[in-house]
A and B are shown apart, each in its own frame.
Chain A
């Protein structure tokens, strides 16, 4: 037994170390993302934000965590106890599980021994597994909404269900174009395919893919403007109405883990991963190169996270029919057209950046279709109103 353990140790410890890094950093990152979000929200609204605990209010996040952990564990009398406890755990578990195949630093395409910035390197179905696992997180929300035994929570869960099903499709469609170009589902391969000059990054020749991917990924994270499952004004708190203290923290952490996942995915798939002008070659194993590439990747991720947080204060929430309309009438056709264009370019071996120009035509096409759809979306209100107007006119003002 010991001999066997000694034999597999060289391959075991890097995996354990990577798991340790993820388990240590993701909750910490989630904790401090709440702080960054509060600060950013404050700056956007011309406020100062939390600034009481510690220098620049840096310890507010820790104070929040202590408070939430020490809160009384209230279990409402009417909930389904088993599911009630499973839901937040499941939510966080699936969110963390999706990080298994995600490189959080430079990972060369060939297998290396020693510490690696990924738990499971060289998985040939990497991106597929990631999408599959992260869509499981709908389970946590649906379980939470159902177990709460409460109308509002259930509404949140149902909305979340519909949202997840709708946005899975454009999410997958937008990635297919990239997979086809890279010729691999392996995330390291996809990043390696974006090496060379910076206009090889996928965002420069598949802007439509980026748009569709980012929008649907944002919807998958359940954040504004897509936070229909928990919108406070309509559903109290949505699926986590009945959750408090540590159980709420788990849901919250799951949401932030999703944001981290989405930001990493966007950076890796579209923004060239750890490539940067002047830092374009294949990954070498020198310490300086590794650290520099990690910094580049983390910087890109931080940019995407800030953009997601900024979007929250720039956009109002979608109405539910608009949400569905956006997915089914907007993003899915756009994703299909994009996929078609990518297929044509790749099959005929045309220059890749032709796609960037076709993006303009795709946009014009979507404009025309949006114009057509408008007649069904924005039909004149007065058509449905005469009876109401009649009733109102009877009331003498």
Chain B
């Protein structure tokens, strides 16, 4: 072997030589069978009986989206297109409209999403929409078992996303995560009390 300086970076390891006992294979075989037997009769299992016992989902899990509501029950989204721009999978489609000024409910709002559609099949659940949102309107929930029979029913519109909010907000496992409070820029973050993480060790269905 050439003994240059550089060869020090290459380390050759030879196989350990078998001793007399190891060369017989038998002790190794017996200890292997012993290990297998020990596990077979240990009675321990790592299997989770999934449909009967739901797994514990961590609070930062990225599942199905929801659109949050503000205190007045309106959709929090201000149709700024930030999430649509941030989305790497192009699964969000928003059509904005001016807020109805004559309606007293909407008089403090300039703009709102007329439609807000997320293709849940296209989404890669990266959570960048959640991070991009300046008003904490879009959030990912811990719903992990999303299924459907058609592609059409997996395209969630605004009403569906709001209904996901209504279903999950009081379920205990999906509190409002990025609660920066009132409408407006994210700069008011510090003024509102942060909500603590949900109690650990609880499944989605409690």
Contact = CB atoms under 8 A, between A and B. Distances in A.
A184 to B, nearest CB: 31
Contact count band on A: 35 or more
A315 B61 CA distance: 39
Interface in B43-59: 44-47, 49
A307 B37 CA distance: 10
Contacts of A385: 1, 12
B36 interface: yes
B1 A43 contact: no
Interface in B79-93: none
- Taking chain A's interface residues, is the majority helix, strand, or loop, or is none over half, making it mixed? helix
- Taking chain B's interface residues, is the majority helix, strand, or loop, or is none over half, making it mixed? loop
A371 B23 contact: yes
Nearest to A316: B32
Contacts of A386: 1-2
Interface stretch (A57-65, A77-85, A226-234, A374-382): A374-382
Contact of B32 (A314, A381, A393): A314
Contacts, number: 85
Interface string A300-324: 0000000100110111000000000
A311 B32 CA distance: 8
Contacts of A311: 29, 33
Given A367-B21, A374-B17, A386-B2, A47 B46 contact: yes
A113 interface: no
Given A47-B47, A48-B47, A386-B2, A381 B39 contact: no
Given A40-B40, A48-B47, A396-B6, A315 B24 contact: no
Given A314-B33, A393-B9, A370 B40 contact: no
Contact of A367 (B20, B36, B39): B20
Interface string A4-48: 000000000000000000000000000000000000101111111
A102 B30 CA distance: 30
B190 interface: no
Interface of B: 1-2, 4, 6-7, 9-10, 12, 14-15, 17-18, 20-21, 23-24, 26, 29, 32-33, 35-37, 39-42, 44-47, 49
Given A46-B46, A314-B35, A393-B2, 8 more contacts: A44-B39, A47-B47, A48-B49, A211-B26, A314-B33, A381-B14, A390-B2, A393-B7
Which 4 A-B pairs have CB atoms at the shortest separation, nearest pair first? A314-B32, A370-B23, A48-B47, A43-B40
9 contacts: A43-B40, A45-B39, A46-B39, A310-B40, A313-B36, A315-B32, A380-B14, A393-B2, A396-B6
